[in-house]
Chains A and B, each alone.
Chain A
Amino acid sequence: MDKLVVVVVDDDESVRESLPDLLKEFGFAVLTFSSAEEFLASGSTARTSCLVLDIAMPGMNGLDLQKELKGRGDKIPIIFITGKRDESIRKRVLEQGAVDILFKPFSDTALRQALHKAMGSD
């Protein structure tokens, strides 16, 4: 059976380099995009099982993308990752339907638990 596809959207190149390796170690297929616009333009939404999404990005940020997807009726589970520890952001994104939010730097365990939560069972 095909691996579940996890999409990473982050403007930080180092994240785009490191995170996919870890996700692959977890056994997921991984697609990376450096911006929300790029992701939306890729047409990959349909096969995305989980979206690992940075919040602060030039142009459309993570929150905008969540809103956009929700507006389209797309129910892709979203795990936010952010370098800025802000509890108000956590509350806001969870209310908007996000699965979880991880503050950088986060442990692989925390990521794995979030992914489990996003996709029911592993």
Chain B
Amino acid sequence: MAAQSEGSAEEIKGLRRCINDLVSMLALPAAWMGGEPLRIMGNLLDALLSMLSLDFLYVRLKNTADAATGEMVRISPTWAVKPGPQEMGERLRTSVDDDFQESPLLLSNFFVEGDITLVPLRLGLHDDLGIIIAGSRRSDFPQQTERLLLNVAANEAAVWLREASLLSEERRVSSELDRRVAQRTADLAAINDELQREIAERKSAEEKFLREETELKRSQAHKAAILDSSLDCIVAMDHQGCITEFNPAAERVFGYKRENVLGKPLAHVLIPPSLRQQHHLGFAHHLATGESRVLGKRLEMTALCADGREIPVEIAIARIQQDGPPSFTGYLRDITARKQNEDALLEAHTRLAQSEERWRSVFESSAIGVALADLEGRFIATNPVFQKMLGYTEQEFEQLHFLDITVEEDRDLNSALVADLLDGKRREFEIEKQYRRKNGSLVSVRNSVSVVSGSDRVPRFLLALSEDVTRRHLAEAALDKARSELAHVARVTALSALTASIAHEVNQPLSGIVTNASTCLRMLDADPPNVEGARETARRTIRDGNRASDVITRLRALFGKKSTPFELFDLNEAAQEVIALSVSELQRNRVTLQSNLATDLPSVLGDRIQVQQVILNLIRNGLDAMSTVEDRQRELLVMTERDEGGGARLSVTDSGVGIDPQIEEKLFEPFHTTKGDGMGIGLSVSRSIMESHQGRLWAARNEGPGATFSFVLPSSTNT
């Protein structure tokens, strides 16, 4: 029994170790709670490898999600090789049957030299959890305690694997549940959202519906209001052409009552008979084809009124397409007034055009130059006369400033006057100035310049009416020259007449002197000398000499005075001198002269000789007027008197032929004469002389025969 006891002690020792290991093993699951299957198995394999003297431990778990992690291996530190779980698993599957029919199984040279005993430990009741394979090269493997430990460990592992599996499943289920709940929650949320949206949409739709209904109501009210209050006539008809609406404006314009025309064919109500056929054809064509020449356009047509009048209307027709057949609404407007306005406007336009044309024609054909310039002075428009006057074309003028063509010396004045115009200091001005023509020659003009106030469309501009006064200046110069020549001629003529008269006056006594002296000499030379005759002739010679002396004295009185152009003199005295010089001529013409000179005559200021020439002219004129008078006394009255105006008046009244009414107006014109031998300048020159004295010369018919020529000179105190 010693051996038995020795063996028993060893056995007890082994058993004790086994119990310790079992306790350790059984203590393991405390760490496995809630653990992962692979962690549990890893933990178990580590414990078994250290408890038992094993070469390796291999585990393969089933029903794990990851096959790669379903295998696990623990290798003894004594091995030189360290095969991985998959390599180990592969070698095991090729070396042994899956179900380990033989157990324990002996394998040779399994990764290491020598024989190795494999013990499978099935996990789970039906191996459904996997398998643990333990291998050892010990020959006594597996001992009873090792088998026990391995089985306990396998059972324990299976419990906990199942536990872990259950836990895992529970977790999976829980997670799935969570996922499903989350999914469901999300679905519910989505559904909820959708519901909310639908609710919102429905609400919106309801609101829209409500709004549309309101809108519709409002629209209908609006439409009614429009229909009622529209200034336009609104007439609607259905597809059959019958009137369905006829608003108050239409009633007013066309004179129909709404209730009388509703349902009636429009064509018979509003369309004049002459247009009905066309309407029917057009309407039928439209209904058949949809084409229309009137829809959507603004047309002018003629409409028939209740009283038979046809009026012009503007019409726009809209087609209203609803579910059923189309209807049509026409908007009509009575455009009679507008037509009239248009006609009036057209007429006004025509009148304006005519007026424009007239003014243009005035502008174009004006006899004087017309130029328009802007306020800067640049030409805007010029008329043909102005263009011709200056030699520039209208286009050339548009490039010119008025100062460009104004001669240097006139520019300053002209600019100043224009500035006054623009400043409003003057309304217009007149200027005589010279323009330089395009060809360089000068032209004298008289310009009337004004500012034409503008309008909305036309800004203010300068208007110049320009008259070419070159000719007038030349004519005036020529006239002055002619007058001066005339005056000269008149003077010479008057002088020569005077000279002839004087010569006659002087020659008569001179002739007497010569004759008497000759006779005297002859008488004294006779044998015996006729002393008595000589004495008589000598006496007559002295008498004639005195006569000649008187003539000279009178001439001296007439010409001898210093010829100051203007002097104070007595008109009576001047007249008497002229009368004295005219005596012989008066006698020869058998004219009796009467003089009636005022004593209160004021002295006058002037050219005495010129005034005497006038008096002489008037006396001669009177003589001439009476040269053919035989049936009555040839009388000449020279009269002076104080004029009502205080001046001195002299009149020469003859009893001659008087003034022919036909020539009355021409009396004072130069070269007008009724005399065969006259030059016709006497009265003209006389009048010029009087005018140069601020006096006046005129002619008047007498109550009896003849005429009276008078002049008046202002009193010296008046001048």
Binding site for B on A (CB under 8 A): 11-12, 14-15, 17-19, 21-22, 25, 56-59, 81, 83-85, 103-108
Q: With CB as the reference atom, state the residue of chain A lying closest to B534.
A: A21
- Minimal Cβ-Cβ distance residue in B for A83: B507
Q: B515, A105: Cβ atoms under 8 Å?
A: yes
- Say yes or no: B537 contacts A18, CB within 8 Å: yes
Bound-state CA distance A107–B516 (Å) is 11
Task: Tell me the nearest residue of chain B to A81, going by C-beta.
Answer: B511
Partner pick for B504 among A17, A59, A83, CB 8 A cutoff = A83
In the complex, which residues of chain B have a beta carbon less than 8 angstroms from the beta carbon of A103? 507
**Would you call B540 and A14 a contact (CB within 8 A)?**
yes
Tell me if A's interface is mostly helix, strand, loop or mixed: loop
Chain B, residues 498-514, CB within 8 Å of chain A (1/0): the string is 00100110011111111
Separation of A22 and B590 alpha carbons in the complex (Å): 30
- Asked whether, in the complex, the Cβ of B588 is within 8 Å of the Cβ of A108, the reply is no
Q: A21-B519, A22-B522, A25-B523 are in contact. Are A105 and B513 (CB under 8 A)?
A: yes
| Closest A residue by C-beta to B501 | A84
B469 shortest CB reach to chain A, Å: 45
Q: What are the interface flags for B586-605 relative to A under an 8 Å C-beta threshold, 1 for contact and 0 otherwise?
A: 01111000000000000000
B residues contacting the other copy or chain, number (CB 8 A): 29
Nearest A residue to B515, CB-CB: A18
Q: Which B residue sits closest to A24, measured CB to CB?
A: B519
Determine the chain A residues whose CB is within 8 A of the CB of B255 once the complex forms: none
Determine how close the nearest CB of chain B comes to the CB of A110; give it in whole angstroms.
10
Closest to A23 in B: B519
Contact check, B504 vs A15: say whether CB atoms are below 8 A apart: no
**B-side contacts of A25, CB under 8 Å:** 519, 522-523, 526
Question: In whole angstroms, how far apart are the Cα atoms of A108 and B537 in the complex?
Answer: 14
- The reply to whether the CB of B641 lies closer than 8 angstroms to some CB of chain A is no
Chain A residues near B516 (CB-CB < 8 A): 18, 21
Cross-chain contact A18 with B500 (CB below 8 angstroms): no
B544 within 8 A of A: yes
Using A25-B522, A106-B514 as known contacts, say yes or no to A85 and B588 having CB atoms under 8 A apart.
Answer: no
Name which residue of chain A comes closest to B589, CB basis: A58
Contact yes or no, A105 B519, CB < 8 A: no
- Asked whether B515 lies within 8 Å of A22 as measured between CB atoms, the reply is yes
Q: Can you list 17 pairs linking A and B with CB atoms under 8 Å apart?
A: A12-B508, A15-B511, A18-B515, A19-B515, A21-B516, A22-B515, A22-B518, A22-B522, A25-B519, A57-B588, A58-B589, A59-B590, A81-B511, A83-B507, A104-B511, A105-B513, A106-B514
Assembled-state Cα–Cα distance A22/B504 (Å): 21
In the complex, whether B533 has a CB less than 8 A from a CB of chain A is yes
Asked if A84 contacts B540 (CB within 8 A), the reply is no
Q: Considering the complex, give the chain A residue whose CB is closest to the CB of B504.
A: A83
Most interface-central of B518, B526, B533, B543 (chain A CB within 10 A): B518
A18–B588 touching, CB < 8 Å: no
Find residues 589-628 in chain B having any chain A CB closer than 8 Å to their own CB. Answer: 589-590
Contact A108 B540 (CB under 8 A): no
Please give, as numbers and ranges, the residues of chain B lying within 8 Å of A105 by CB-CB distance. 507, 510-515
State A57–B511 Cα separation when bound (angstroms): 16
CA–CA, A18 and B536, complex, Å: 10
Across the two chains, which residue of chain B brings its CB closest to A22? B519
Return chain A residues, CB-CB under 8 Å to B508.
12, 14-15, 83, 104
CA of A105 to CA of B533 in the docked complex: distance in angstroms?
21
| B526 proximity list for chain A (CB < 8 A) | 25
| Known contacts A22-B518, A58-B589, A106-B511, A17 near B540 by CB under 8 Å | yes
